[in-house]
Structure 1
Amino acid sequence: MSTTDAKEQWAAWREQRTRTVSAPYGPLALTGTYWLADAPDGRIPGVPGRWTEDPGTGDAVLLTALAEDGLTVNGEPFEGWIRLGPDASAGAVWVAHGERRLLVLRREGQWAVRVFDPQSAARQAFAGIDAFDYDERWVLSGTFRPYAGGRTVVPVENADGRERGLSLAGELALGSGEHTLQVGAEEDGSLWAVFADGTSGTSSYRFRFLRPPAPDPDGTVTVDFNRAHLPPCAFAEHFICPFPPPGNTLPFAVPAGERCAHSG
């Protein structure tokens, strides 16, 4: 691929990132993450209804509401009770209160409700994502080496101050192999890394995400730092993004990829 084609594809990726982040229910719209463990009575501040973990199985959230609560489920007025699974699961339903969407989250056995509001202050103030200029020198060759024992989980601090397990699948060697990143693997085989570098906290956000494609059968993969992107917590403080695991702070600056979000 020529540099011109690669730069045009990167520009298209940048435009798509802006559309995704600024969508009505994108990251900028998150106004709260409420853990049910912190609400033993099932009442969430500013959110109608009663939200509790299913006491029988623990594998769902029970939502109980009155007609006057003004909730809708899949666009229809709701009253009574309903079992809700994580919103990323198959068959998930949409619970809303006016324009706000109320999504159920499960993380490490704990349940939470997230509130997305398209009228959030962050979304209204958003003025774009700043990024370093495209630089083909930051398109590197890499080699993925899966862990011999399969996936491993390491404890890392999260943006909300809590420590949680981060699932890692192997090591990604950059270029000649002098530097490596510990990476996770998605169901489609693509990789995922949380990393920091010499720009973190100065000319870019304190850490960033990187999603290389699935490696070839021999482990080779292209690592394009021009597509390093901001984590969701760079747009709304209510996300619980993981910090870089041990060894994922590169000892040099990576002036490529997204830097920070702009507000108007």
Structure 2
Amino acid sequence: MLTVAETGGFQVGRRPFAGEVRPAAGTGTETAARVPLGEKRLVVPVREGVPGARGHDPGTEARRASRGIEAAARGPRRVVPGRFTPYEARRVPRLGDTLGRARAFALAR
């Protein structure tokens, strides 16, 4: 539940908002799962059935200072031949997330 005392630029459904609202949580695009405040966004993702909250601010110092990510150029010299062998059954390995919790990642066969 998000409580906003004064509108102050918050929008819900592209309209100024003040009061209480339960932002839509989503597993797909963040369009329906976000509350904008200027360029900032409060995003409500769902991972393994558990909703969370993430803030996104494109104007942070770290983002402004970023010059991008260095990556090697693509080309035929960088292609490595291989062979795909599908799993015999569905696998669901558990890997740690950024909060240190184990999350399941389903691998289709």
TM-score (norm 2): 0.73
In the alignment, which residue of structure 1 is the partner of 2:93? 154
Of 121, 128, 136 in structure 1, the residue corresponding to residue 76 of structure 2 is: 136
Q: Is the 8 A contact 1:100 1:115 kept in 2?
A: yes
Q: Which amino acid aligns with 1:77?
A: P
Partner residue of 1:96?
A: 36
Post-superposition offset of 1:86: 1.4
Q: 1:249-260 to 2 correspondence within 5 Å? A: none
Question: Which of 109, 116, 128 is residue 49 of structure 2 equivalent to?
Answer: 109
SS in 1 for 2:42: strand
**Uncovered stretches (5+) of structure 2, i.e. residues with no partner:** none
Q: Distance in 2 between matches of 1:163 and 1:91?
A: 27
Greater relative contact order (CA < 8 Å, ≥ 6 in sequence): 1
Pick closer, same or farther for the CA change 1:89–1:130 going to 2, 3 Å. closer
Percent identity (aligned):
38
Give how far 1:133 is off.
Answer: 4.3
Please report how far the alpha carbon of residue 92 of structure 1 lies from its aligned counterpart in structure 2 after TM superposition.
1.3
Residue 130 (structure 1) shift: 1.2
Aligned pair count? Answer: 107
CA distance in 2 between counterparts of 1:155 and 1:132 reads 30
Structure 1 residue matching 2:81: 3-state secondary structure: strand
2:21 to 82, 85, 93: 82
CA distance in 2, matches of 1:93, 1:135: 38
- Structure 1 residue corresponding to 2:63, chosen from 81, 100, 123: 123
What is the alpha-carbon distance in structure 1 between the residues aligned to residue 97 and residue 70 of structure 2? 24
Q: Structure 1 residues 159 and 113, CA, compared in 2 at 3 Å: closer, same or farther? A: closer
SS of equivalent to 2:63: helix
Instruction: Map 1:1-264; keep pairs closer than 5 Å.
Output: 51=1, 63-66=2-5, 68-70=6-8, 71-83=10-22, 84-86=24-26, 88=28, 92=32, 94-149=34-89, 151-170=90-109
SS at match of 1:145: coil
Counterpart-to-counterpart distance in 2, 1:156 and 1:94: 26
Report the secondary structure of 2:83's partner residue: strand
Contact 1:156 1:166 in 2 (8 A): yes
Please report how far the alpha carbon of residue 146 of structure 1 lies from its aligned counterpart in structure 2 after TM superposition: 2.5
Unaligned 5+ runs, structure 1: 1-50, 52-62, 171-264
User: Is the contact between residue 154 and residue 166 of structure 1 (CA under 8 Å) also seen in structure 2?
Assistant: yes
- Sort the Cα spacing of 1:90 and 1:106 in 2 relative to 1 into closer, same or farther, 3 A: closer
Decide whether aligned partners of structure 1 residues 115 and 82 sit closer, same or farther in structure 2, where only a CA change above 3 A counts: same
Question: Aligned-pair distance for 1:110?
Answer: 2.0
Structure-1-length-normalised TM-score: 0.35
